């Protein structure tokens, strides 16, 4: 098992290995990325509520046109009797019959396409979506200020200025045509967003055999997408506007993709000296693996913010499984194990089933009574903590938010959860450690 001394050694070894891997091989080092272009983007936390919305931005970092096939996952729990969204069973009381239904976890998926012109950022509100009227580049002859790209031919999607730049094709204004982002369709909404860089016609990832796009642009595996989420909260007695921003978590390609519906993420190499690229084509990895451990640095819930000395911290954690089966609509379930260290180096742990999406205040991870949680400052006795999260039965991707709230009168919880608006909050990405050995999958319809 891992201890601090092992972690130190492994960290040093990992760093050395990672450096040599980067220098020697395009595929030796994996894990997810939130600071560079990727082929798959995951936004683990998309929320819509009264006075709360999430603005999604997605950017094409390449100088050629690209497309993203995206999936909203609605993880709202629903009443078994009314199918209305709920948070507890008490929300499912039916006045007419006098019967209370169960509040059970849900999973509803909606997919759509986003077409991105060269180096174009696109943004939309989860609550509103993006319709035709919101497209920046309508294309055609009236492209406005949008760039021109080849349509068809061997240089399709690449920038052009003259028709001769597009052998076999035509030089037209770049267009977002084909883009339609639906509103999430429910308020409140809790869920995630996944976007996969894909062919706009087939809506599948393009088959590719190399990472070198300079040498072989037609067959290279592209990683052009970058994204962010800005969770905006407006309202409250003081009309506070609070924004929390995190980067979308990206999966980069490995240099191979067979263009089918099964996206293989990582995988166990056939031998210690090989990589998952040495596996047979049907099981060969197409994307770099999800991380083995997510490292979540946070303040314990209820800890007094050391800067203000007044407000108390309340953090939320969002986790989604790496593996998703959109084809069979099977709810992904991963057991997340949490190892929590406080500033005394004392360790506590717990585990929790991540069924589709976990989006929760951290002091509700292990209990429904926050004051008794291992994420509670009152129990831990320190302000800061480190939580290491690993998935059993699958990888995990996550993001976190820190809210600073007005202190409640004990034993009441801080005010964060009783009002919509916190005095301030911030979202941030989780750190990572090591790569998962086992493969994860995304199966798209």
Partner 1 sequence: MVTLNATWGAGRGSVLRLLAAVALLGWAANAGAQPITADSASSDLPAGYIVFPKIVVHTTGSPTAPVLPGGIATDTLIQLTNTNEAAPINVDCWWVNANSHCGGCTTGPIRTCGSICTTTLDCPLGLSCVQGWVTDDFQIRLTPGQPIAFTASSGLNRLPCDPGAQGPGCPGSPADQAMGTIRSAPEDPFMGELKCVEVDDDDDPVPANHIKGEATIVSTTVQPAPPVPPILPGTTTAAAYNGIGFQADQTFTPTQDPTDPLCLGSLPPGAAAGVACNQLYAPCPGVLILNHFFDGAATEIGGVVDTELVLAPCSEDLGNITRSGNFQVLAQLLIYNEFEQRFSSSSRVTCYRSTRLSDIDTGPGPTGDAFSIFSVGVQGTIAGQTRIRGVQGAPNGLGYGLLGVACENYHAGSLAGPILSRTAFNLHQDGFRQEGDAVYLEVLP
Q: Which residue has the tokens 């990895």?
A: 285
CA distance 320 to 343: 28
Minimum separation from the CB atom of position 102 to partner 1 (A): 5
Is there binding between residue 346 and partner 1 (CB under 8 A)? yes
User: Nearest CA to 367 among 357, 356, 379?
Assistant: 379
Provide, rounded to whole angstroms, the least separation between the CB of residue 99 and partner 1. 4
How many residues touch partner 1 under the rule CB under 8 A: the total is 69
Q: Is the peptide bond before 370 cis (omega within 30 degrees of 0)?
A: no
Asked if 259 and 281 count as a contact pair (C-beta separation under 8 A), the reply is no
Q: Given candidates 228, 355, 401, 432, which one binds partner 1 under the rule CB under 8 A?
A: 355
Question: Does residue 367 touch partner 1 according to CB under 8 A?
Answer: yes
Q: Which two tokens stand for residue 176?
A: 């977002």
CB of 47 vs partner 1, minimal distance in Å: 9
Q: Choose one: 139-147, 255-263, 337-345, 423-431; the region binding partner 1 (CB under 8 A).
A: 337-345
User: Which residue among 150, 279, 389, 427 contacts partner 1 (CB under 8 A)?
Assistant: 389
By the rule CB under 8 A, 403 interacts with partner 1: no
Among candidate residues 367, 235, 222, the one with its CA nearest the CA of residue 301: 367
8 Å CB contact between 67 and 175: no
Nearest CB to partner 1, comparing residues 194 and 222? 194
Nearer to partner 1, 211 or 365 (CB): 365
- Based on the shown chain and the rule CB under 8 A, indicate whether residue 327 belongs to the binding site for partner 1: no
Cβ pair 276, 269 in contact under 8 A: yes
Shorter beta-carbon distance to partner 1: residue 75 or 196:
75
- 163: left (phi > 0), else alpha (psi -120 to 50), else beta? alpha
Contact with partner 1 (CB under 8 A): which of 360, 384, 426, 438?
A: 360
413 neighbors 367 (Cβ within 8 angstroms): no
C-alpha distances (whole Å) from 347 to each of 99, 225, 342, 387 are 43, 38, 7, 9
Cβ neighbours of residue 432 under 8 Å, at least 6 residues apart? Answer: 31, 32, 291, 293, 294, 295
The only residue of 371, 383, 384, 426 in contact with partner 1, by rule CB under 8 A: 371
Of the pair 158, 189, the CB lying nearest partner 1 is at 189
Binding mask 94-113 toward partner 1 (x if CB under 8 A, else -) reads x--xxxxxxxxxx-------
Pick between residue 174 and residue 303 the one whose CB is nearest to partner 1.
303
Among 265, 392, 403, 266, smallest CA distance to 339 is for 392
Which positions from 251 to 290 touch partner 1 by CB under 8 A, shown as an x/- string?
A: ----------------------------------------
Residues that bind partner 1 in the complex, under the rule CB under 8 A: 1-3, 6, 75-77, 81, 87-90, 93-94, 97-106, 190, 292-293, 318, 333, 335, 337, 339, 342, 344, 346-353, 355-361, 364-369, 371-374, 379-381, 388-390, 392-393, 411, 433
């Amino acid at each position: 098992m891992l201890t601090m001394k092992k972690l130190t050694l492994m960290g040093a070894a990992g760093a050395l290995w990672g450096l040599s891997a980067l220098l020697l091989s395009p595929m030796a080092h994996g894990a997810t990325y939130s600071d560079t272009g990727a082929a798959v983007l995951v936004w683990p936390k998309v929320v819509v509520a009264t006075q709360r919305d999430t603005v999604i931005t997605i950017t094409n970092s390449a100088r050629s046109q690209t497309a993203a096939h995206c999936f909203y996952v609605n993880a709202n729990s629903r009443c078994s009797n009314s199918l209305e969204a709920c948070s507890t069973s008490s929300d499912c009381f039916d006045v007419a019959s006098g019967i209370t239904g169960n509040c059970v976890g849900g999973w509803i998926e909606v997919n759509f396409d986003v077409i991105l012109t060269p180096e174009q950022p696109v943004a939309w509100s989860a609550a509103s979506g993006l319709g035709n009227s919101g497209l920046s580049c309508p294309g055609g002859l009236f492209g406005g200020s949008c760039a021109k790209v080849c349509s068809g031919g061997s240089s399709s999607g690449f920038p052009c200025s003259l028709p001769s730049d597009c052998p076999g094709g035509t030089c037209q204004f770049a267009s977002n045509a084909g883009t339609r982002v639906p509103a999430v369709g429910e308020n409140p909404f809790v869920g995630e967003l996944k976007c996969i860089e894909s062919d706009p016609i087939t809506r599948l990832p393009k088959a590719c055999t190399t990472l070198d796009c300079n040498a072989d642009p037609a067959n290279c595996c592209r990683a052009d997408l970058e994204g962010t989420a800005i969770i905006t909260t407006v309202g409250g007695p003081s009309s506070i506007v609070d924004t929390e921003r995190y980067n979308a978590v990206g999966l980069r390609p490995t240099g191979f993709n067979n263009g089918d519906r099964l996206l293989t993420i990582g995988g166990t190499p056939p031998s210690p000296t090989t990589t998952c690229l040495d596996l047979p084509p049907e099981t060969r990895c197409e994307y770099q693996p999800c991380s083995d451990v997510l490292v979540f640095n946070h303040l314990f819930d209820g800890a007094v913010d050391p800067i203000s000395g007044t407000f108390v911290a309340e953090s939320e954690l969002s986790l989604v499984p790496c593996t998703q089966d959109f084809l069979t609509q099977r709810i992904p379930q991963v057991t997340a194990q949490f190892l929590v260290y406080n500033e005394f180096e004392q360790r506590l742990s717990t585990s929790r089933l991540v069924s589709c999406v976990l989006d929760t205040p951290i002091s509700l991870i292990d209990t429904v009574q926050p004051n008794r949680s291992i994420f509670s400052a009152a129990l831990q006795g320190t302000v800061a903590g480190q939580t290491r999260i690993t998935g059993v039965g699958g990888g995990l991707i996550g993001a976190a938010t820190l809210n600073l709230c007005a202190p409640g009168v004990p034993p009441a919880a801080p005010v964060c959860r009783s009002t919509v608006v916190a005095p301030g909050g911030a979202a941030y990405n989780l750190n990572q450690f090591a790569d998962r050995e086992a493969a994860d999958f995304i199966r798209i319809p």
